[in-house]
Amino acid sequence: MLDDSIRWLHLVATSVWLGGLITLGALVGAVRGAGADRTVLTAMARRFGTLSWAALAVLVVTGILQLARSEISLRDDTDYAVTLFVKLALVGIAAGLALFHQMTARTSSPATRGIVQAAILLAGLGVVAAAVTL
């Protein structure tokens, strides 16, 4: 029962994080196209930033708990270990890019912000692809 609850929280946090990236990406273009002031975009990004960092924290904690409770031996199952490493590397890349984006968004161009956001999304989709194979 506890394992199911941990997995459920992990999946919900994944949905919030990745779904939020996709939703925010779609909304920013629409809001910008509708002539919204930059303060509106900033408020949207800040609210999502708070939510996404919380979701990422839940993902890390529940991921560690799932790994600790797993009966799979990383030494014996090389494919699992490699896939898990790829997933964790992509999580690190996505988190690093998100932190970079958050720290530089005020001073970077819309094109640069878009490229970084796209890279975060691609890394997130890679995380989900790796997770599906686990």
- What is the C-alpha to C-alpha distance for residues 66 and 7, in angstroms, rounded to an integer? 7
Q: Tens digits of per-residue pLDDT, 2-12?
A: 789 999 999 99
Q: Tens digits of per-residue pLDDT, 13-65?
A: 999 999 998 998 888 889 988 998 989 988 998 999 999 999 999 999 999 99
Judged on CB neighbours under 10 Å (0-12, 13-18, 19+), 119 is middle
Q: Which amino acid makes up residue 85?
A: F
Q: Could you tell me the pTM of the whole model?
A: 0.85
Residue 27's domain spans which residues? Answer: 2-133
Burial 54-81 (b: 16+ CB within 10 A, else e): ebbebbeebbebeeeeeeeeeeeeeeee
| H or E, element range at 70 | none
What domain count does the chain have?
1
Residues 6+ apart with CB under 8 A from 29: none
Q: Which amino acid makes up residue 112?
A: T
At residue 75 the predicted structure's pLDDT band, cuts being 50, 70 and 90, is confident
